[in-house]
Structure 1
C-alpha cells in the first residue's frame, strides 16, 4: 500500500453521528493520516465522534455541503491531493487507492467514482436512479462530456485543479458545478468504478430528491450560459419564437373565422417572435465567440507549454 502523506480525506458532514465514526476509523486504519471533517453545525454528536476517532474537525462558517467543501479545501487543506466523500458510510475505503491512482499516474486531475458500476441493493431508490440517469444524460447533451455519474460524492482531485474552478453552490449542487467546471476548463477527468452501499440502518439522508433534483437541473441549465451558449440562448429563443407563432396562429384564426381582432395579442405575438429570433442570433454569435476564445487559449497553451 502506497503512503498517503500527500492526501487529505475531506468529509463534509451534518448529523451523521450513526456513521461518521466508522468512516473516519476505516480511513485512519487504511493509512490516511489526515482526515478532515467539516461539520455544518450538527445537532447530534457528529463532531465529537469524528474527533474521538482521530479526525481533524472544523465547524464551517456557513451552511450547506458546497460551502463546507470550498471552505475546507481553501482554508484547511495544504496537501497535493484531496479525496472527498460523504460521511454516511455509503462509500468504501476499499476504492480509495483506485480513486487516487489516476492522479498519481498523471492521467487525470479530477476523478469521479461511478456508483452505477456496483450499485448494491437498496443503496438507491428506483426514483433516484431514474433522476440520476436523466441528469447525467442532460449533462452530456448540454456540456458535450459524459462522466457517467456527475452526482457522485466520491471524488479525488488535485488541490490546484479545484482552486481553478469557479464554484458558488452551497448545497448538493456542488458536484454538478465541479463536473461542469471540469468540462468547461478542460480539466482532465477520469471515471473510476466504485461500490455504492446502502445507508446503515438508523442513518437518515439529508438529500431531498425533488427539491435537490430541481436545484441540480437549474444549475445545469444556468451553467450552460458560459459553456454552451448556443443551447442556453437557443432554447430560450425557440421557446419565445414558438410561443409567438402559436399566439399569431390563434389571432389569425380568430380574425378569419370570426372577424374578431386581438390587437394586444398580436403585439405580444410579434414581440415574442422578434425576441426569440434575436436570442437565437445571440446564441449563434456567443457560441462563435466561445469557440474563438477556446482556440486562442489552446494556441497560447501550445506556445507557452513545455518544449
Structure 2
C-alpha cells in the first residue's frame, strides 16, 4: 500500500503533463504518481513516463471511467486527485494530505471558487454553471461544500474503497460531493489558487452537453438519496395541477347542480390518485434508503478493518 498516491487522469495533455508531474514530485517527494491515459492521440503517456510517473491506461472514454479504474487498482493511505492541465497548483497538496492523514478527513475539496477562479477562468458560462451547481446542491442536500465541481481533491482509503462510481464523464465530481454529504463523511475545504489553462491547451469540457449531464446527475442523485423529498415534490405538483382543473367544475356544480365536464373530472381523479401513489412511493423508498445507509455503515466498518490489516502488513 502506498503512503500517498497522486492520481492524474489525462486525455491529450502533452503540453502540460510534464510540469504537473514534476511539480507534485517536488511537493510530495514520498508520493507515487500515477498517470492514467484515456486514449490520448498525442504523446501524453510517453512524456509522463519520462517525467517519472507510473503510466497506466483506461480504454473506456470518460473521466468517470478513468477514476473508477484508479480507485479499483490503487491502494493508498491518502489519495490526491488532480488534473493534467496544470490549472491546480501542487503547493496546496501538502495541506490537503495532512488533513487526510492527521485529521482523518474523508474528502478534502480544493476550493477554487473562493479565490481566483472567477478572474482566471475566461469562460463565463463555466463560472455561471459552477455557481448554479454549488447553490443547487447546497440547498437540496443541506451542506457547505464550497466547490462542487473541482477536480482537485484528497481522499481517505475508506472513501475511495466505498465510493460507487456510476458516472462516466465530468459529472463524476458532482457525484463525489453528493455521496460524501449524504453518507455523512468528514469533508473539509482548502482554498486553492486557480490558473487558467496555458495557451495551446484546450478544455475537454463541453459547456452545454456536460453541463446538462451534471444537472441530470443532481436530479438522479436527489431521487436516489432523498426519495421522500423528490416524490413529494411530484405529488404536490400533480395535486395542484389537478386542483386547478377541478375548481371550475366544483364551482359550476355548486351553482347549477350539474357536472358539465365529466372527462375532465375523471382525469383529475386519476391525477389525484397518481399524486397519492407518488407520495407513498417516496415513503417506501425513504425506508429502503435508510436501510441502505445502515448497510453502508457496516461496509465502512469492514473497509476500516481491511485498511488496518493492510497497515499492519506494511509495518511488518
Establish whether TM, by shorter chain, passes 0.5.
yes
Cα pair 1:73 1:159 within 8 Å, conserved: no
Q: 1:277: which partner in 2?
A: 276
Separation (CA, whole Å) in 2 of partners of 1:240 and 1:254: 22
Separation (CA, whole Å) in 2 of partners of 1:43 and 1:32: 31
Which deviates the most, 155-164 or 265-274? 265-274
Cα pair 1:66 1:168 within 8 Å, conserved: yes
Q: 1:145: which partner in 2?
A: 143
Is structure 2 residue 111 aligned with structure 1 residue 123? no
Separation (CA, whole Å) in 2 of partners of 1:279 and 1:157: 37
Distance 1:81 1:266, change over 3 A: same
List gaps (5 residues or longer) in structure 1.
none
Q: 1:38: which partner in 2?
A: 36
Cα pair 1:238 1:276 within 8 Å, conserved: yes
Secondary structure at the aligned position of 1:273 is classed as helix
Secondary structure at the aligned position of 1:196 is classed as coil
Higher helix share: 2
Cα pair 1:139 1:146 within 8 Å, conserved: no
1:69 aligns with one of 63, 67, 70: 67
Q: 1:199: which partner in 2?
A: 197
Matching of residues 57-206 of structure 1 within 5 Å? 57-75=55-73, 77-120=74-117, 121-123=119-121, 125-206=123-204
Secondary structure at the aligned position of 2:103 is classed as coil
Separation (CA, whole Å) in 2 of partners of 1:169 and 1:295: 23
Matching of residues 51-62 of structure 1 within 5 Å? 51-62=49-60
Matching of residues 20-31 of structure 1 within 5 Å? 20-30=17-27, 31=29
Separation (CA, whole Å) in 1 of partners of 2:143 and 2:49: 39
Distance 1:124 1:146, change over 3 A: farther
Q: Tell me the alpha carbon deviations over residues 133-158 of structure 1, each in whole angstroms, 9 at most, x when there is no partner.
A: 22112112222222111111001002
Report the CA distance between 1:89 and its aligned residue. 0.7
Q: Tell me the alpha carbon deviations over residues 146-199 of structure 1, each in whole angstroms, 9 at most, x when there is no partner.
A: 211111100100233211112210101111111121122222111111111111
Which deviates the most, 284-293 or 210-219? 284-293
Secondary structure at the aligned position of 1:105 is classed as helix
TM-score between both structures, scaled by the size of structure 1: 0.86
TM-score between both structures, scaled by the size of structure 2: 0.83
Matching of residues 259-298 of structure 1 within 5 Å? 261-284=260-283, 286-287=285-286, 290=289
Secondary structure at the aligned position of 2:188 is classed as strand
Q: Tell me the alpha carbon deviations over residues 64-98 of structure 1, each in whole angstroms, 9 at most, x when there is no partner.
A: 001101101212x1222110011111100011111
Q: What is the alpha-carbon root mean square deviation over aligned residues?
A: 3.0
Secondary structure at the aligned position of 1:28 is classed as helix
Secondary structure at the aligned position of 1:157 is classed as strand
